[in-house]
Structure 1
Amino acid sequence: MAIFRIRKKVNYVVLDKGFLNDTRLSWKAKGLLAYMLSLPDDWSFCISDLATHSKCSRESTANTVKELTKAGYIHKMQGRTNNGKFRKVELFVFETPQVEPYSDNPISDKPLMDNPLTVNPQTEKPSLLINNKSLNNNLLNNNNNYRSYPLGENLPKPQTAFQFYEDNGFGSLAAHVTFNIGHWIDDLSEDLVIHAMKRAVENNVLRWNYVEKILRDWTNKKLKTIEEVEADKLRFEAQKRQQQRTHQSDLQVRKEVVPEWFHQRHENVEQTIDFEAERQKILETLRGVTESAR
């Protein structure tokens, strides 16, 4: 057996091959991790987007991400804005497994201390798939958002997507529904998942598959915030109103071009045709033809 290699000039990446020998990982997980590490440092990951680059389904890709998370190669972090809303779940990718994540519980009941989080909280320096400058800025911004609350005051705790599901008549949380809700939260955000369920409540369709249909539509349209979703809704409603006005205008035009005589055609036939007189004319003509023949 032999390995045939090419001479690398462009389109290659340098990786620490330690994770390739990690027996805890499946071959699928190793392949996905290698692909993620090959992307630029400031890449923003989305499970639906990752699924489009292989023949694996979205659910299969999400399970692989979960496997890498359990092994310490991916850490998830979700903060909140200063008004208490959930941010999108961020995925931090490591070339070597990290036992301690950035924060097991990034949303605390107590405000953060004045000391900002360090750029490299680990003892070793892992190869992150995000640059240190952007990471430090994000952490500092989150820290400032938390400090905007008065000392001693707890952060507001908005309703979670799981609570909203149960409190608004969708039914009990089955295992597969809980699983899918978690994946959509990772893929979009908890606020968007709740917003989709609110749409379902407004339309009186309390089924999870209907909520997923809404979420898939937003994903296909690349809508990532509630503001973008609402703007898209306004555009759709404006387009629908325009179509209705155009349809009504077409109906009016069709009514105007119908001539008046068309509505009176039956009356004109009765007034202009005397069938008895026409009959007498035909009989007289036949008699004339008969006499001339004699």
Structure 2
Amino acid sequence: MIQDFSSLDRFEAERPRLRALAYRMLGSSAEADDAVQEAWLRFDRTDLSQVENLAAWLTTVVSRVCLNLLRTRQTRHEESLESFTSDWLGAADDDRIPQEEAELADSVGLAMLVVLDRLSPAERIAFVLHDMFDVPFDDIAHMMERNPAAVRQLASRARAKVRGTGAQAADPARRRHAVEAYLTATRTGDFEALLTLLDPEVELRADATVTGAGRPLTLQGALAVARSAIEAVPRARFTAVALVDGGPALVMAPLGRLSLVIQFTFAGTAMTAIDITADPDRLQAFDVTLG
């Protein structure tokens, strides 16, 4: 069935919103485009004469497509975390991540995408629809074929995971500011700024997955650590500040999938140790929240 031009125009008017919705649900621009394209195919072959609210109908279609994709991803484990981590560490260094993907991630927030990726499919759908797109719980319940109380519970659990409830170390604001300053200095290649943040005897420890050499790496001293940070400028583009196990840290997340965590140990506000983790099993065990 071919819809008339007015209906086609209405679909195109909804496309940007539907794509934004699908991207937050899936964390991938390619998958978001696929979800919207599937909505278009269903739109094109459906008699919409009885549809009173086209925007709501399309939201339901896209949400159900995304939910199915998330469940398939979770069940089949089509992308192993290990291969994803190694592939995208190299891609970030070589600046091979699509520009559009990076811009979309920036628009949502890398840390948010990392946290959303830790939610169950149902939690993610409920949270995105309600908390990010202001869809009423009754409407979400219809989309997900659940009762409103169950959907409220899903969104509540997701909200708790996103915000986190763990206690932070003393003086968290100053330490978060230091981590933010470290990221800024790394992105801009500001060697002097890095030295002001690092304890002279700082130790950097990177696991074997980070090095790609089959063995971990240890660097000693502010000069060596600062040089290492400057060399990681391409990766810094895809890195954001988040709370990891209750403390301010950096997370690297191309395509919204956690691939590297940088944690800091402080004496006051000086960084005395930096631990860089890319091992898939350890990444899965981290508690990542927005704070």
- TM-score surpassing 0.5? no
User: Would you tell me which structure has more helix in proportion to its own residues?
Assistant: 2
Question: TM-score under structure 1 normalisation?
Answer: 0.31
Question: If each structure's strand is expressed as a fraction of its own residues, which one has the higher value?
Answer: 2
- Structure with more contact order per residue of length (Cα contacts < 8 Å, sep ≥ 6): 2
With normalisation by structure 2, the TM-score equals: 0.31
Highest CA radius of gyration, 1 or 2? 1
